[in-house]
Amino acid sequence: MTYIKKIALLANSIYVSAYSYYKVSESGLGSSIKLDADEREFFLKLRPLLEGENLVIYDIGAARGIVSSCLAKLPNVSSIHAFEPLPDFFEQLKIRMKHFNKVNCHHVALGNEEGIFPMYVNNWVTNSSFLPTSNYFKKQISDIDKINHTIDIQMSCLDNYVEKNQLPIPNLIKIDVQGFEKKVIEGGINTVRNSKYCFIEMSFQTLYENSALFDEIYRFMCDLGFRLIGVSNPMISKYGVPLQVDGIFENLEVNAK
């Protein structure tokens, strides 16, 4: 990486951090609520979906817990259920959440089947998935082509897990599971249909083998009674190719009540 590029990236990071701080302050969020730079970024993405009181949120694909820790600091959020299957990430999640009584951590993967299945652990651990990384993704993103190993992971269907553990129906569901998003929705159709909003990572290109792309997930969500009301956080490859985006869906029937 050249010196000029390093300076440019540092300047951009400082700008983004300062701008997010300004926008969060402008939002009217109390000064007693301290969000770090990553948390501010997610708060600004999700802010339109966080109206009301006693909100219940599912963080599916919680990783280290940036989203959960951000939302746990909001006074109108009553409970968060964070789902993370990777053992190392789950331990980090528990440590980060130990000061938040409203966060419940679940060491389980969600999909459309019940049982134990192998997960591909990449050298970029955050990109680990039940689906192998595609050759296309390997060409677009450097240093992502190494699968270090596989681990056996317990998978459950969201609807079954909610019923078995008597979890409250969520107002908002965030799903970020590396190409496995449609499988999660298929296993949780009843839960999804009763939620007000869904925040879903969707890909324009095949980044994981046999993964559902943007248009397929979009049509599926529309069939469930949702409409796409916004997008955020576009990911662009080093060649300028749009790879993925976070879609914001509103449940028309539930929000009309």
Residue type (1 letter), 229:
I
The total domain count for the chain is 1
CA 101 to chain CA mean position, Å: 21
Q: Take residue 95 and report the two structure tokens written for it.
A: 């440590």
CA pair distance 219, 256, nearest whole angstrom? 21
Is 18 domain-assigned?
Answer: no
Is 11 domain-assigned?
Answer: no
Is 6 domain-assigned?
Answer: no
- The enclosing domain of 181 has a CATH number of 3.40.50.150
Is 63 domain-assigned?
Answer: yes
Is 214 domain-assigned?
Answer: yes
Is 14 domain-assigned?
Answer: no
Which CA distances in Å does 67 have to 53, 74, 166, 180, 216?
18, 11, 23, 19, 26
Is 30 domain-assigned?
Answer: no
pLDDT tens track for 210-242: 999 999 999 999 999 999 999 988 888 878 888
> What's the first-to-final CA gap in the chain, in angstroms?
54
DSSP symbol at 208: B
Per-residue pLDDT, averaged over 184-212, amounts to 95
Expressed as residue numbers, the domain containing 214 is 35-256
For the beta sheet containing 115-122, the strands, ordered from the edge strand earlier in sequence to the opposite edge, are: 109-111, 147-157, 115-122
- Is residue 187's pLDDT more than 80? yes
pTM of the complete model: 0.85
Is 20 domain-assigned?
Answer: no
- Is residue 200's pLDDT more than 90? yes
Instruction: Please give the residue that has the higher pLDDT: either 46 or 181.
Output: 181
- Is residue 147's pLDDT more than 80? no
CA pair distance 99, 9, nearest whole angstrom? 33
Residue type (1 letter), 163:
E
